[in-house]
Chains A and B, each alone.
Chain A
């Protein structure tokens, strides 16, 4: 989670973060967090949406399997994992489920909406910049 590495930038604007996952909780602890830290050590909560109702409400759909396997970014990530000696472990969840990134303004409105269409997550730097833009009017 690269946001964790930029946490100071979020705190600078009194920002908060909520991460949402749909996998089974124990698999999330094993795969997502690994051995380096436990969930209580994260600076933000990881919410669990097993039914994926929140995913649907926020516009995060599923990708067709053939589009997933034709995406070079997917292969790049898998090769990168293998190159670092890591195995490709599934968390038992739906690998076709897409995610998305959103920024909510202090007044509760949506300031940024970027549901994934494929493996196209925005850079963390872009999200941090948007957070600063959203926070600026509230601070003036």
Chain B
């Protein structure tokens, strides 16, 4: 597994399909603070 990204590092890429069959990318939110939350599991 790659090393954990640390504060100050460029944020890793994030571009994935969404639950609404759309697509979302972190790149599109440049200029705004963004909370990125990885869920453990749903159930």
Contact = CB atoms under 8 A, between A and B. Distances in A.
Interface size class of A (residues with CB under 8 A): 35 or more
Q: Quick one: which of B29, B30, B39 has the most chain A CB within 10 A? A: B39
Given A59-B3, A134-B33, A135-B33, A39 B38 contact: no
B41 to A, nearest CB: 5
Q: Quick one: which of A18, A108, A109 has the most chain B CB within 10 A? A: A18
Contact of A47 (B10, B18, B30): B18
A48 B35 contact: no
Interface string A97-122: 11111111110111111011001000
Interface in A1-39: 3, 10, 13-23, 25, 27-29, 31-32, 39
A71 to B, nearest CB: 12
A91 B31 CA distance: 35
Given A103-B33, A109-B8, A60 B43 contact: no
Residues of B contacting A: mostly: loop
A115 B4 contact: yes
Interface of B: 1-14, 16-20, 22, 24, 26, 29-43
Interface of A: 3, 10, 13-23, 25, 27-29, 31-32, 39-40, 45-49, 54-61, 88-95, 97-106, 108-113, 115-116, 119, 127, 131, 134-135, 138
22 contacts: A18-B34, A19-B39, A20-B16, A23-B41, A23-B42, A28-B19, A49-B16, A54-B14, A54-B16, A58-B12, A59-B4, A90-B43, A93-B43, A99-B37, A99-B38, A99-B40, A102-B38, A109-B7, A109-B9, A110-B9, A110-B11, A113-B5
